[in-house]
């Protein structure tokens, strides 16, 4: 049993990289979802904020950071005021620079988030 626990700890440490809060910065989404997460990081004040929005759903969604652990797992509470959903989410950055989001509460699921690449409009 001890060997199994040690193996689990080793594997979990190798799956999740040692990131900084700045690594989360950007726009993230998962396949088949029309919801987006924007992580903004203010380096001067060391503040991370998360905004959740959708172009296809006008719901009023509020996501607040509850805790950031020493290994940069981010725990949040999300409330959708329109349908009264309450969900706790834990975000963890993987080695491949994707985020695993674990949802518990009114929905229980795991989603893999990928950073969205924006194509900027150019004025010529």
| Residue 122 pLDDT class (50, 70, 90 cuts) | confident
Predicted local confidence at residue 18, as pLDDT = 60
| Residue 8 pLDDT class (50, 70, 90 cuts) | very low
How many structural domains does the chain have? Answer: 1
Beta carbons of 86 and 79 less than 8 angstroms apart: yes
Asked if residue 41 is part of any domain, the answer here is yes
Asked if residue 124 is part of any domain, the answer here is no
Give the end-to-end CA distance of the chain in Å, rounded to a whole number. Answer: 65
The structure tokens listed for 95 are 């080695």
Asked if residue 120 is part of any domain, the answer here is no
| Residue 7 pLDDT class (50, 70, 90 cuts) | very low
In whole angstroms, how far apart are CA 79 and each of 12, 29, 85, 93, 94? 29, 18, 6, 23, 25
For the four alpha carbons of 36, 53, 88 and 91, in that order, the dihedral sign comes to positive
Asked if residue 122 is part of any domain, the answer here is no
Q: Is the pLDDT of residue 5 over 50?
A: no
Asked if residue 77 is part of any domain, the answer here is yes
Q: Which residue has the tokens 């990081």?
A: 41
User: What letter would DSSP give residue 94?
Assistant: B
Asked if residue 121 is part of any domain, the answer here is no
* Of the candidates 1, 94, 101, the residue with the CA atom closest to the CA atom of residue 52: 101
Separation between Cα atoms, residue 2 and residue 9, nearest integer Å: 11
Separation between Cα atoms, residue 51 and residue 49, nearest integer Å: 7
What percent of the chain has pLDDT above 70?
84
Q: Is the pLDDT of residue 119 over 90?
A: no
Give the tens place of pLDDT for each residue, 12-71: 444 444 678 899 999 999 988 889 999 999 999 889 999 999 998 888 899 999 999 988
Asked if residue 74 is part of any domain, the answer here is yes
Residue 14 lies in domain: 2-115
Asked if residue 19 is part of any domain, the answer here is yes
């Amino acid at each position: 049993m001890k060997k199994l626990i040690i193996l689990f700890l080793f594997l979990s440490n190798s799956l999740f990289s040692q990131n900084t809060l700045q690594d989360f910065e950007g726009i993230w989404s998962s396949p088949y979802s029309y919801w987006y997460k924007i992580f903004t990081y203010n380096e001067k004040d060391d503040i991370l904020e998360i905004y959740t929005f959708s172009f296809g759903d006008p719901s009023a969604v509020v996501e607040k950071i509850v805790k950031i652990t020493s290994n940069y797992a981010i725990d949040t509470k999300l409330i959708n005021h329109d349908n009264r959903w309450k969900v706790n989410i834990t975000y963890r950055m993987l080695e491949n620079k994707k985020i695993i989001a674990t949802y518990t509460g009114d929905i229980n699921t795991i989603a893999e988030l990928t950073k969205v690449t924006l194509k900027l409009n150019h004025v010529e």
